[in-house]
């Protein structure tokens, strides 16, 4: 059974600081996704990582994937308050389409 572990689950940062969220998964997978969720809102797709060594960047967020280590990271550079949200990684089970296993989420709070 595929398991997805995120850490930390809660992260309080000061504006301007850097930090990394980690996502480990237990079995081989071809695709890993990062989503953002604001309180009471839907899930917004941030990144899709499809191959070993994939790195994608959007603004202050950068995601990477190491399929051999079964590890993805979401790095936050010079955090700003607008980044406060819950971030989920999700791993495709490799079976039929769309069966994503989500991590528990990392609730990020960026304080001035």
Partner 1 sequence: EPEVTQTPSHQVTQMGQEVILRCVPISNHLYFYWYRQILGQKVEFLVSFYNNEISEKSEIFDDQFSVERPDGSNFTLKIRSTKLEDSAMYFCASSYLGNSPLHFGNGTRLTVT
Cα–Cα distance, 52 to 25 (Å, whole number): 14
Q: Which of 51, 68, 82, 98 binds partner 1 (CB under 8 A)?
A: 98
Residue 103 three-state SS: coil
Compare residues 18 and 45 and give the one whose CB is closer to partner 1: 45
Q: Which of 13, 90, 108, 110 binds partner 1 (CB under 8 A)?
A: 90
51 binds partner 1 (CB under 8 A): no
Contact of 101 with 91, CB cutoff 8 Å: yes
Q: Tokens 């079964």 appear where? A: 70
Q: Which residues make up the interface to partner 1 (CB under 8 A)?
A: 30-31, 33, 35, 41-45, 48, 88, 90, 92, 95-105
């Amino acid at each position: 059974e595929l398991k997805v572990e995120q850490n930390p689950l809660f992260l309080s940062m000061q504006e301007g600081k850097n930090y990394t969220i980690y996502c480990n998964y237990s079995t081989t997978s071809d695709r890993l996704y990062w989503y953002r969720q604001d309180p009471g809102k839907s899930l917004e797709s941030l990144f899709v990582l499809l191959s070993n060594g994939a790195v994608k960047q959007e603004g202050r967020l950068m995601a990477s994937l190491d399929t051999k280590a079964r590890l993805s990271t979401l790095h936050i550079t010079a955090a700003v308050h607008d980044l406060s949200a819950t971030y989920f990684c999700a791993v495709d089970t490799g079976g039929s389409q769309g069966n994503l296993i989500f991590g528990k989420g990392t609730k990020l709070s960026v304080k001035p």
